[in-house]
Structure formats: C-alpha cells, structure tokens
Amino acid sequence: MLAAIFAICGMTMVSCFSDTKKSTAVNVTDDASQFVTITDVVPDVILEIRYFGTYNFVGTRIDGYEEPTALLTRQAADSLKAVSDDVIKQGYRLKIYDAYRPQKGVDHFVRWAEDITDTLMKAYFYPDLDKSVLFPQDYICLKSGHTRGSTLDLTLFDMTTEKEVDMGGTFDWFGPESHPDFCGNPETGEYTGDNSKSPKGRSITPEQFQNRMILRQAMMRHGFKPFDTEWWHFTLKDEPFPDTYFTFPVKQLSK
C-alpha cells in the first residue's frame, strides 16, 4: 500500500510532495556547488533511483536523470549520515528511491499528467484513480520540494533477511494507503487498524505499520520532518535553500 505523490493546489503553488507553501521570492539556479553525491557522505546507503529507470508511475526515464545516483545539499547529507548510523545499529540500511530532483524532471511529470490517455503504469501505481483527477485532487504540481535539494524518498533494507523491509505498499502509490496515519497514529506509534480511508478496503498489518514508524522516527530524530501523505518522504527541517529551485541534472558530482 502506497501513497499519494505530488501536490498541486492551483497554479500559484510553488512546491509539491511535502511542505507545500506559497512564496513571494523564488530563485532558480543551476549552481551545484553546495550539493554532494549521497554515497560520498553515506557509503552504506543502497540506491534504487526509480526515475532513472522505467519502473515508476510514468513508465519511462524521467528528464534530468542522467545517471543512477542521488544528490543532496551538504547539510541534508550530513543529517542523513546520522540517520544511517542510527538504523544500522537496529539492523537496517537506508535504501533511496529519489533525492534532489531537477526542475526538468518536475516538468516531465506535469506533461505526463496533462496527457490523460497515457495510463501505461496505472495498474501499478494508481489503479483506484482516473488520471483526470491528478491535478484537481492535488497529486501533481508545477514545483516540488525535491528541487530545493534537501528532500528525499527512501525506505529500509533489512540486513538479516537481505530484503527491503515490508512497508505494506510500494513507493509512489497514489492513494490514502500511503499516508503515515493509515491504520495507525504516527504521533503515538499506535496501530489502530483503521482502513476506512481506503477506497478498496485495503489494509496494512501491525508489523507493516511499525516498519513505517521505525523509518519515520529515525528520520525525525536527526532533523528531518515527515510528509502527511507519503510514508517515504522527508525534508530537512532547516533546509538551506527554502526558496531556491535548482536546474542542474542528476549525475555524479566531481569531488
């Protein structure tokens, strides 16, 4: 079970996915000097960059993803290192699906959403939705918090089983099943089993809910804030570029 992704609350909104907000001053730049390649700072992470491949809700490589790597601002990467050290002690590694996303990639999502005839990946990521509702129901937007460089999408990898941890749903699932409060209270960590928001009566188990909480709590302990519609999505609380959207492509950075 999986979650809603992008968010468009009208054409005046400037950010999606998380921390959606309005801004009067937005900067755009291709300066990558304050970014790092995540694996240079956090060598224990596993990368599965979904938008470099074809297993994503669009079904093709996304514009701006030139190499299967992941980038973040230096500050976000340093905090992620603390998260990694934390979960390793618990028997896990971090697995990253996406981090910095260039504006070109967001533009690709918008073009895809506008073409309601392109439903190639509907069965995998949005089977409960007609594609025509993605804009009006706040799933796609003109800008994303990922483009500011301190937001990432990730999960846990179990070092004992050598498998991805079961979160009860896939990354980038469009629907309430992806919300952190699905079947439980993320503030208390209590599993309630309440699946009334699921249009098809889907559910997750207590173990799957607890797995989501392990990731959430580790991220929050080290300076990241969660998003209320995606269990996998986190943004550095004190992000260094809250009003800057970057345009350089995703590829390995020179040290």
pLDDT in tens, 30-55: 999 999 999 999 999 999 999 999 99
Residue 16 predicted with pLDDT over 50: no
Is 230 in the active site? yes
Residue 11 lies in a domain: no
Q: What value does the mean pLDDT take over residues 63-72?
A: 98
pLDDT tens track for 229-244: 999 999 999 999 999 9
pTM of the predicted structure, to 2 decimals? 0.91
Q: Does residue 1 belong to any structural domain of this protein?
A: no
- The total of structural domains in the chain comes to 1
In the prediction, which pLDDT does 62 show? 98
Q: What is the mean pLDDT of residues 109-131?
A: 97
Tell me the CATH number at 42. 3.30.1380.10
As a whole number, the mean pLDDT across the chain is 91
Whether 152 maps to a domain, the answer reads: yes
Catalytic residue, chosen from 48, 177, 230, 239, is 230
**Exposed, middle or buried: residue 225 (CB in 10 Å: 0-12, 13-18, 19+)?**
middle
Q: Regarding beta strands 163-164 and 190-191, do their DSSP bridges make them parallel or antiparallel, or are they unpaired?
A: unpaired
Residue 24 pLDDT:
53
- In this prediction, residues 122-135 reach a mean pLDDT of 95
Helix, strand, coil percentages (3-state) for the chain, rounded to 5, are 25, 20, 55
Query: What's the CA gap between 120 and 30, in Å, rounded?
Result: 32
Res 56: pLDDT? 98
Has residue 254 been placed in a domain?
no
Dihedral sign for Cα 112, 9, 35, 213, please.
negative
pLDDT digits (tens, 9 = 90+) for 142-188: 899 999 999 999 999 999 999 999 999 999 999 999 999 999 999 99
14 part of a folded domain: no
Residue 16 lies in a domain: no
Residues with Cβ within 8 Å of 211's Cβ and at least 6 positions away in sequence, in order, are 156, 165, 166, 167, 168
Q: What's the whole-number mean pLDDT along residues 80-97?
A: 98
Give the range among 11-15, 25-29, 107-111, 250-254 with minimum mean pLDDT.
11-15
Distances (CA, A) of 239 to 151, 152, 161, 193, 248: 9, 12, 34, 34, 18
Query: Are the C-beta atoms of residues 180 and 212 closer than 8 Å to each other?
Result: yes
**Spatial CA neighbour of 151 closest among 216, 93, 51, 76:** 76
Q: Which residues pair with 28 in a beta bridge?
A: 245
Query: Can you give the residue range of the structural domain that contains 110?
Result: 27-246
* Cβ pair 38, 71 in contact under 8 A: yes
Domain assignment present for 13: no
In a domain, 174, yes or no: yes
